[in-house]
Amino acid sequence: MTVASELKYPAMNHFASADGDLAYREAGTGDLVVLLHSGFVDHRVFDAVVPALASAHRVVAADIRGHGASANASKPFRWADDLADLLRHLDAGPAALVGVSMGGIVVTDMLLEHPELVRAAVVAGASTGEFEDSDPWHRAIQAETARALAAGDIESWLTAFLGYVPGPHRSPADVDPAVPRRLREMALHTLAKHTPGEPNLHVPVTDTWARLPQVGVPVLTLNGALDTPDVIAAAQRLADTVQNGRSVLVEGTAHYPNMEKPEEFTAIVEEFLRTL
């Protein structure tokens, strides 16, 4: 089974931030593990991962601002500051952070901006917010998603966005259709929260690569072996640059190993957590 059709979480929780409510779900007890999803979707990308992790850990799966059930921004903000506020609200931490794609960038931002709140980090399908993939396949997807979104062509945008699932080395027919179906559902929910042309109020963290050597907590980069070579190379660079990093590849998957191969993804994360 690749994705869970439904996960029996407790009810959605909301944290009253300084700029609207931020949503999260919580399960299990023990050392805190926080899961951070990829762009345009929400915490449900981890539905098939949470049950195993929650058997031994307190797991918080958050909706990042502007996604899922969390409020949109009305003023400039940083992802890491939102997460730091949530951890302080929970009176919890330092936490082990696990992020996929955009969520992985949030994890890296936390390592640099709020290191006192991070016990360890898993960065999947990402490196830092200052990484740009030069792969022509990826550049074509970026161009098409930008064009379609500006034109309000949601179906074309979804087609391009879901191209990240097979990655550059497979066709959509090579992927369990449940994965893009779930991503489509989540993306439509998040897109419905926004209007064309609204300003992007997210403030990126800068000078990231230069500051990474100061990171001393354990860092695992975890990537699908079928992702773009630039993504994999940047992840290796991240693992090599921090003081205590290592990298793992999951064969037979691209940008969403947590959904395509959740058992293997979870086993790697659990093994990493046992070393802390």
What's the full length of the chain, in residues? 276
The pLDDT confidence band at residue 50, using thresholds 50, 70 and 90, is very high
The strand order across the sheet containing 245-250 reads 13-17, 20-27, 58-62, 32-36, 95-100, 118-124, 219-224, 245-250
CB atoms within 10 A of CB 189: 16
The pLDDT confidence band at residue 5, using thresholds 50, 70 and 90, is very low
Give the N- to C-terminal CA distance of the chain in Å, as an integer.
Answer: 29
List, for residues 195-209, the tens digit of each pLDDT value: 888 899 999 999 999
Alpha-carbon distance values, 15 to 32, 69, 172 (Å): 17, 11, 38
Token pair recorded at residue 48: 């098939």
Q: What is the pLDDT of residue 3?
A: 36
Q: What is the pLDDT of residue 196?
A: 81
Is the peptide bond prior to 177 cis by the omega test (within 30 degrees of 0)?
no
Give the chain's largest Cα–Cα span.
48
DSSP secondary-structure letter at 122?
A: E
What amino acid occupies position 274?
A: R
- The CATH classification of domain 13-274, taken from the options 3.40.50.1820, 3.40.50.2000, 3.30.300.90, 3.30.2020.30: 3.40.50.1820
Is the per-residue pLDDT at 9 higher than 60?
A: no
The pLDDT confidence band at residue 33, using thresholds 50, 70 and 90, is very high
- Strands of the chain (E only): list them: 13-17, 20-27, 32-36, 58-62, 95-100, 118-124, 219-224, 245-250
List, for residues 140-177, the tens digit of each pLDDT value: 999 999 999 888 899 999 999 999 999 999 999 999 99
d(CA 209, CA 250) in angstroms, rounded, equals: 25
146-183: b (≥16 Cβ within 10 Å) or e: eebbeeeeeeebbbbbbbbbbbbeeeeeebeeebbebb
Q: Residues of the chain with pLDDT > 90: what percent? A: 90
Domain residue ranges of the chain, discontinuous segments joined by +: 13-274
List, for residues 207-249, the tens digit of each pLDDT value: 999 999 999 999 999 999 999 999 999 999 999 999 999 999 9
If you average pLDDT over residues 109-137, what whole number do you get?
A: 95
Question: What pTM was computed for the model?
Answer: 0.94
The pLDDT confidence band at residue 7, using thresholds 50, 70 and 90, is very low
List, for residues 61-99, the tens digit of each pLDDT value: 999 999 999 999 999 999 999 999 999 999 987 999 999
Q: What is the pLDDT of residue 23?
A: 96
Q: Residues of the chain with pLDDT > 70: what percent? A: 96
Nearest to 126 by CA among 39, 52, 65: 39
Nearest to 262 by CA among 61, 7, 51, 26: 51
